[in-house]
A = this chain, B = another copy of it.
Amino acid sequence: MTNRPKLRIGLIGSGFMGKTHVFGFATAQRVFDLPFEIVLHTIADRTDDIAAQASRSLGFARSSGDWRTLISDPEIDLIDITAPNAFHKEMALAAIAAGKHVYCEKPLAQLAGDAWEMADAAKRAGVRTQVGFNYLCNPMLRLARDMIRIGELGEIRSYRGIHAEDYMADPESPFTFRHDPAGGGALADLGSHALATAEYLLGPISSVLGDSVTVIDSRPDGAGGKRDVEVDDLSRMFVRFDNGASGSIEASWIATGRKMQHDFEVYGTTGALIFTQERFNELHFYSAADQAGRRGFRRIEAGPDHDPYGLFCVAPGHQLGFNDLKAIEIANFVKAISGEGPEPMNFRAGARIQGLVDDVRRSSGRGAWIDVSA
């Protein structure tokens, strides 16, 4: 490990997602045979004190109350942005301009146009980028995609995708940046994950027809009053894929009782897959090729047959956790930086998803289909 080149991280933001990234770096470093030695170089947050405190608890060598310090530090190779969404664009563009690789939590920016601007800047600068769509890093999703590509389901005919949670179900849950008309809403927050999974599995979506609904139209403003909410609490869409399949996708943050219903069902001519993130170490597979009277959905449990599970654990059935998915995401990105393999979800891909989110929103407003071909 000591002979490997160093990849020095500058992390902006020490809140929960910042911590999750640090967990991910620590695990990725141990579990994978990475082409770089990861160094937690500097952490930035709003004030010197907060940053200094975070550097101690999270294990960074230095800290700063000004994120621009990290951008201008020639030692830092990768800027990791977990600051509030409103700052993503400015920070990422500055990092790109400084020639650094950028890892940014979703959404890239509040508007798809801004996200595309960021993607274009990264391309021009030749830096590597990554947006955090961690659910895609599950070995069982990779298995699902491989099975689809290999043809184990035959020709794909239809798709159903959902991402539902209930963290905004309570009308007394206050107005936050997630309710900001620019970039907020269940569709942007959760539908983006469902869209990413759909395209990951079946390839590009070609057209959409959206249906966005605001259920809770005002929320406490934190000052004893109420503030109007314009963003969607739940959104549905019909979709068509380039491969000819049709489907539906839903997102809701008011699905009482649901904590992580990131689910999909894929139906092909000769097989089908069912998945729920609620039990994300399983994939259920039906094959019409099984013998009559013995057919049924098989509960495949994650194991060493499903890369990269085996790096975490030698035996099947032990299960990965959410933070392990983040470690896989980081490992994939780090490998892409060294030229091993493609960027798993770069800014271009992230901008694509945000574009889809905007398209669904527009389609819902018009009540009509919209072409979203890439």
Contact = CB atoms under 8 A, between A and B. Distances in A.
Contacts of A250: 160, 248
A313 to B, nearest CB: 6
A269 interface: yes
B271 A317 contact: no
A297 interface: yes
Interface residues of A, number: 94
B271 A257 contact: yes
Interface stretch (A65-73, A82-90, A277-285, A349-357): A277-285
B259 A303 contact: yes
Q: Which of A209, A267, A305, A314 is the most central at the interface, judged by chain B CB atoms within 10 Å of its CB?
A: A267
Interface stretch (A23-31, A102-110, A197-205): A23-31
B209 A367 contact: yes
Nearest to A302: B259
A288 B257 contact: yes
A171 B317 CA distance: 21
A254 B158 contact: yes
A125 interface: no
A183 interface: no
A270 interface: yes
A46 interface: no
Contact of A298 (B165, B265, B294, B369): B294
B254 A238 contact: no
